[in-house]
Structure 1
Amino acid sequence: MPRLSRVESQARTRELLIATAKDLFLRDGYHATSLEKVAEAAGFSKGAVYSNFRNKDELCLVVLDDIHAEHIKAVAEAVSGRPFDDAVALFSEWAERMIGDEGWTVLEVEFGLQARRDPALRAELAVRDRAVRDAITSLARTFDTSAHPAPLPAEDMATVLLSLGIGLAIQRVIDPGVPIGTLTDTLRSLLGRPKSE
């Protein structure tokens, strides 16, 4: 096996640190996961972490980017190019599995609270929030609304759906029995599609 170049080795170290941090953040939460724990679990020194990330906040932002990208891709693959009812059914299956996932939900809430006293970190989270809303907006625009005009612009629908999803996630962490159907019923309503269609 050929030896890795320095750049390839650094990239591989970074990928391993991100994957390890993701596992620890999702399992233990933001505050309980130190950079020392990430380094140790990944098999590196703390210096390896600092040579790739300025601090824990930066590492967590990268982890959240990775999580968001995974979920956006999964939802896009489920709904894109499908008839409306099929897309909603597949989205509902994804939502049932993921909205209220304790590790993900707690990490998002904990890190959001971390940012409340740090304007720069809050701005970074706002950029990511806009990116998620933009992705939802793009997906909402893939639905044919010619027969059923939507009562809200796609951007507003994205904000409503994201807000409802966040609220449901928190509720489902507390009570996993909270039904996810509220989200898909709201989607149908916002797109002017009756439930029985």
Structure 2
Amino acid sequence: MPRQTRAESRARTRELLLTTARELFLRDGYHATSLEKVADAAGFSKGAVYSNFPTKDHLCEEVITQVRNEQIHAIHTAFTSEGTIDQRLEAFDAWADATLGDPGWTLLEAEFAIHAVRKAPEVRARVAQGGREAAAALEFLIGEELKARPRELPLPAAELAEAVLDLGIGLGIRRAVDPDLSPRPLGDLVRLLLRA
């Protein structure tokens, strides 16, 4: 078996650190997860963490971006799958039921956003940009739906995307506290607006 190049070894170390950090951040939260804990759990030195991620904030941002991209992909899959609009909305409902209020992801996003506002103003703009990117991804999906099945919407696609994202975030936080809360209002809002 050929030896790994330096670049391959560095990429593998970075991947292991990111995987370990994701597990710890989602399980324990932002504040309880230190770079030392990530290094120890991954079997590396703290220096290995710093050589790949300049700060804990950068590491956490990567974890959040990774999870957020996976969720956007899952929503995209639900909305672009074959079938009727009702079948695609049912797939979206299934995603919402399985995902909204996930204690790890929901609480990490909320804790990190509060940290950015209160303690890390230099991170705040990047957190805000992440929210804008999520809204833009939803707007793109709405646009794709309108191309496939043209109709008038009661709101511009950008505003609809913001409304869906904001309801999803609020509902996710509430479901993290009260798991018995139904995620159905999110799907119902999308149904109402897409069928208007």
Alignment TM class, shorter chain as reference: over 0.9
TM-score by length of 1: 0.94
Equivalent in the alignment of 2:92: 91
Q: CA deviation at 1:192?
A: 2.9
Equivalent in the alignment of 1:23: 23
| Letter in structure 1 aligned against 2:169 | I
Query: 1:91-110 maps to which residues of 2 (within 5 A)?
Result: 91-110=92-111
Q: Secondary structure of 1:30's match? A: coil
Q: CA deviation at 1:81?
A: 4.5
Equivalent in the alignment of 2:144: 142
Query: 1:19-58 maps to which residues of 2 (within 5 A)?
Result: 19-58=19-58
Equivalent in the alignment of 2:133: 131
The answer on 1:66 being equivalent to 2:66 is yes
RMSD across aligned positions (CA): 1.2
* Cα deviation 1:140-184 (Å, max 9, x = unaligned): 1122453x4210111111100010001101110111111111001
Equivalent in the alignment of 1:190: 193
- In percent, how many aligned pairs have the same letter? 49
2:183 is aligned, of 164, 180, 183, to 180
User: Which structure shows the higher helix fraction?
Assistant: 2
| Structure 1 segments unaligned to the other structure (5+ residues) | none
Equivalent in the alignment of 2:11: 11
TM-score by length of 2: 0.94
| Letter in structure 2 aligned against 1:88 | L
Q: Distance in 2 between matches of 1:19 and 1:38?
A: 10
Q: Distance in 2 between matches of 1:93 and 1:75?
A: 10
Q: Distance in 2 between matches of 1:8 and 1:129?
A: 32
Q: Distance in 2 between matches of 1:181 and 1:65?
A: 25
The answer on 1:160 being equivalent to 2:163 is yes
CA contact (8 A) 1:151 1:192 kept: no
Query: 1:115-126 maps to which residues of 2 (within 5 A)?
Result: 115-117=116-118, 118-126=120-128
Equivalent in the alignment of 2:80: 80
| Structure 2 segments unaligned to the other structure (5+ residues) | none
Q: Distance in 2 between matches of 1:20 and 1:86?
A: 36
Q: Distance in 2 between matches of 1:176 and 1:190?
A: 26
